[in-house]
Amino acid sequence: MGATDEFSIRELTRDDVDAAVELGTAQGWRDRHAFYDFVLRTPTCQPLAGVVDGRLMATGLATASGPVGWLGAIVVAAEHRGRGYGRAVTEELSRRLRAAGCVTLSLEATDAGRPMYERMGFRIVTHYHQLQGDHLPEAPAVPDGACVRRLAATDLPAVLELDRRATAEDRSGPLGVLAGVGPGVSGEASGWVLKRDREICGFLLPAERAYGAIVAPRFEDGLYLLDLHRHIVPAGAHVRAGIPDEHAAARRELQARGWQETWQAPRLLLGPDVPWRPEWIWGQINSAMG
């Protein structure tokens, strides 16, 4: 399918990655080689390439997370904007997510893309606030009554269940890859779990570009996991928190502790509302997957 006779959409492959990264950097995005490596290893992701005369001119990503499907990484070459390519890619991503059983479609919009999404029926439901914190030299104190340890492969079912309760999504695909214990993933498990009364009450799975999937129902546990993330990154590095509007108390506390808000974007939905628990969410996988 395509917006014009010359434009076609197909699956993005590893051979397209350099061109996809170049397309993004030309629009002011960061180097996304690590992002595409992660995407191509995640079984629930469907990256797409829009091509004109064999040249990559647009990209997009669909991630099926159970009842919720995420759209992201939608980029169109500047010289080809205004021709309907972005909408064509978005419609194809939406079609694939519907086919995968997703009832609600979700995305984080840029200022440039938001008008198109709203014309397609998407509506703003909240905003994500990205805050940045620098490396923490000393390990933070573990909250009273809790213990922390490295994630083990046997922890993954409990981590996924806690994540499902927080997000109302099945993010087993990307979380399994981040944890190093998902389908088709080899190597040691990666991440940390926080436990109370022998049950997992929070987790941290570091992601690329200083992101980290962090879920914790207790306020003090979420703050601890963010500080743990700050501690484990190298000196001179930083980490990012992803805080929804509904978690304003966390944003205020982080800013009081010196975290700097560096970016925000609206989350838009098409379809039924998602019965999530945004006050449990402290970090994101990335802006294309939530």
Q: What is the pLDDT of residues 128-184, one digit of tens each?
A: 999 999 999 999 999 999 999 999 999 999 999 999 999 999 999 999 999 997 555
Which pLDDT belongs to residue 3? 43
Mean pLDDT of the chain: 94
Q: What percent of the chain is modeled with pLDDT above 90?
A: 88
Residues 44 and 160 in one domain: no
At which of 102, 118, 144 does a domain end? Answer: 102
Task: Give the pLDDT confidence of 86-127 residue by residue, as tens digits.
Answer: 999 999 999 999 999 999 999 999 998 999 999 999 999 999
**Smallest Cα–Cα separation from 74: which of 6, 24, 7, 15?**
24
SS3 content of the chain, % helix, strand, coil (to 5): 35, 30, 35
**In this structure, how many other beta carbons lie within 10 angstroms of the beta carbon of residue 210?**
17
Task: Name the token pair of 189.
Answer: 């498990």
| Domain presence at residue 221 | yes
- Contact yes or no for 253/135 (Cβ under 8 A): no
Residues 134 and 94 in one domain: no
The answer, yes or no, to whether residue 239 has pLDDT greater than 70, is yes
Residues 13 and 55 in one domain: yes
> What's 203's domain CATH number?
3.40.630.90
Q: Total structural domains in the chain? A: 2
